[in-house]
A and B are shown apart, each in its own frame.
Chain A
């Protein structure tokens, strides 16, 4: 199918481009080092004396908060700045195919980062007898949540020519999504908003949805939330690219 071939062509180019510069390697090292440090020290991995990876997964939203914008800031901002967007968008493929290809490339890169955390999985299996199905569910859930972060960040990247601004916008947007679930925001809102709206705001929070995921529970509602968020922001991404063509 032409559509799939076009998406694959863009995907391949973008994915390979990650590994040309040191960016990819730096990112991977930082991600894994941070993940490890957070798990073992802040997460009380040893003190808990439980054979699961919950302390590892708990920190994923916060890791993604900074690291996902870092890998997605160049997706569209760079193209617009160097003028290659004009080249890309005069090829016989649709904006949707281009957006999908880039998004999937960034997502695949995140998958690589997640996969490289396998030493943690090995360590928990050596030290105890964890339920590996639960751990696998945790990885899958984290991967889908990363997709949601990526969709938001990629859309932010399409709004500007400057990668740094794209990074900041993406961080801010991601922060809002995480924050909408914390007691800080909810508590403030509780005093003057109707309960329906409070529930609505809380339901947008990545943290709220991730609570179940990090325990290895894949709730259909969480999956639907994340999937529809991804779809929404990819659509917004297409619109942003179209609107920003003449800027």
Chain B
């Protein structure tokens, strides 16, 4: 659905995007991760047909962005960063404009506007001027505009930025619902969003593509992947540490807390391999009093930092 080959964008001497290549298919939700200024938005603007690439190609549904821009734009629903909208219009008149610009006749426009409004739940503010709406509602109007023509491809630039947790949840739920039928690219620097919504993650840093993988694989890169958080009671710290160090697969042990009442340990897994079975068998065999045992999946923050500061 989207094919990007060696896409680059130079603003004078500044290289904003440096030979980025990737492909996204139907049913995939691609998360564009990266620090601010990494080139995520610039890449999306090129795919959406707003900016002209300095070199490289971008194809959407088989149409080249440079050769057939109108065909590309007709198939993309794009939500720019910050969700810019015409402040003087109401959501109703705004969506009517978008519908007209997308070539829908009056009857069909009405139908599609109603559908998009229902999907984004903006019915209650439909007739209020957009500049009187809250940030969350403005974002939803922007989403409605992107969904209006039921596009095959959705490109959303930081769709949940600035929303409260409830609103974030709603937007993410909506994206997940749409995912099966469409190709979706979202950009974010919220790592929990990637795990929540995306089937694939690309990390962009310094204009270059650093990593192209799945959220699960990203987590697996973390030192904390498959680590065990163990809370024990009624034991001496040094004894517990010495004994646990002997469990196969345990690479290192961190003491998080200890008081006379109990101890809190973090056992790192060697090579990120699962050790929970070994550890639980071990403590069970010893008859230790376990208050909590938890498998850590990995901290994306840490992985992200390593990838982006490494290559920046």
Bitwise, B45-81 to A at CB < 8 A (1) or not (0) is 1001111100000000000000000110110101011
Contact status of A90 and B49, CB under 8 A, knowing A5-B103, A16-B93: yes
Question: A84: CB under 8 A from chain B?
Answer: yes
Contact of B89 with A87 in the complex, beta carbons under 8 Å: no
Contact of A87 with B100 in the complex, beta carbons under 8 Å: no
| B98 nearest in chain A by CB position | A91
Question: B235: CB under 8 A from chain A?
Answer: no
Contact of B93 with A9 in the complex, beta carbons under 8 Å: no
Give complex CA distance A196, B248 in Å: 97
Q: Which of A20, A83, A94, A245 contacts B51 (CB 8 A)?
A: A245
Q: Which of A10, A82, A83, A246 contacts B101 (CB 8 A)?
A: A10
Contact of B97 with A12 in the complex, beta carbons under 8 Å: yes
Contact of B73 with A84 in the complex, beta carbons under 8 Å: no
Contact of B88 with A87 in the complex, beta carbons under 8 Å: no
Contact of B97 with A9 in the complex, beta carbons under 8 Å: yes
CB distance from B188 to the nearest CB of A (A): 18
Give complex CA distance A82, B142 in Å: 14
Question: B84: CB under 8 A from chain A?
Answer: yes
Please give the number of chain B residues whose Cβ is less than 8 angstroms from any Cβ of chain A in the complex.
30
Give complex CA distance A5, B76 in Å: 20
From 78 to 94 in chain A, residues with beta carbon under 8 angstroms from any chain B beta carbon are 82-84, 86-87, 89-94
Contact of B50 with A84 in the complex, beta carbons under 8 Å: no
Question: A17: CB under 8 A from chain B?
Answer: yes
Question: B102: CB under 8 A from chain A?
Answer: yes
Contact status of A90 and B100, CB under 8 A, knowing A20-B88, A21-B88: no
CB distance from B157 to the nearest CB of A (A): 10
CB distance from B300 to the nearest CB of A (A): 29
| B86 nearest in chain A by CB position | A84
CB distance from A15 to the nearest CB of B (A): 12
Please give the number of chain A residues whose Cβ is less than 8 angstroms from any Cβ of chain B in the complex.
25
CB distance from A8 to the nearest CB of B (A): 8
Report chain A residues within 8 Å CB of B103.
2, 5-6, 92
Contact of B85 with A84 in the complex, beta carbons under 8 Å: yes
Question: B145: CB under 8 A from chain A?
Answer: yes
Give complex CA distance A86, B81 in Å: 10
Contact of B45 with A86 in the complex, beta carbons under 8 Å: yes
Contact of B101 with A91 in the complex, beta carbons under 8 Å: yes
From 115 to 150 in chain B, residues with beta carbon under 8 angstroms from any chain A beta carbon are 145
CB distance from B100 to the nearest CB of A (A): 4
Report chain B residues within 8 Å CB of A83.
80-82, 84
Report chain A residues within 8 Å CB of B89.
13, 17, 20
Give complex CA distance A132, B71 in Å: 50
Contact of B84 with A86 in the complex, beta carbons under 8 Å: yes
Contact of B50 with A89 in the complex, beta carbons under 8 Å: yes
| B49 nearest in chain A by CB position | A90
Contact of B85 with A92 in the complex, beta carbons under 8 Å: no
Contact status of A91 and B80, CB under 8 A, knowing A5-B103, A82-B87: no
Q: Which 3 A-B pairs have the closest CB atoms?
A: A83-B84, A9-B100, A92-B74
Known: A12-B100, A87-B78, A91-B73. 8 other contacts (CB 8 A): A12-B97, A21-B88, A84-B86, A87-B80, A90-B48, A90-B73, A92-B101, A245-B50
Q: Can you identify 30 A-B contacts, CB atoms within 8 angstroms? A: A9-B97, A9-B101, A12-B100, A13-B86, A13-B89, A13-B97, A16-B93, A17-B86, A17-B88, A82-B84, A82-B87, A83-B80, A83-B81, A83-B82, A84-B84, A84-B85, A86-B50, A87-B80, A87-B84, A90-B73, A90-B76, A91-B73, A91-B101, A91-B102, A92-B70, A92-B73, A92-B74, A92-B101, A93-B101, A245-B52
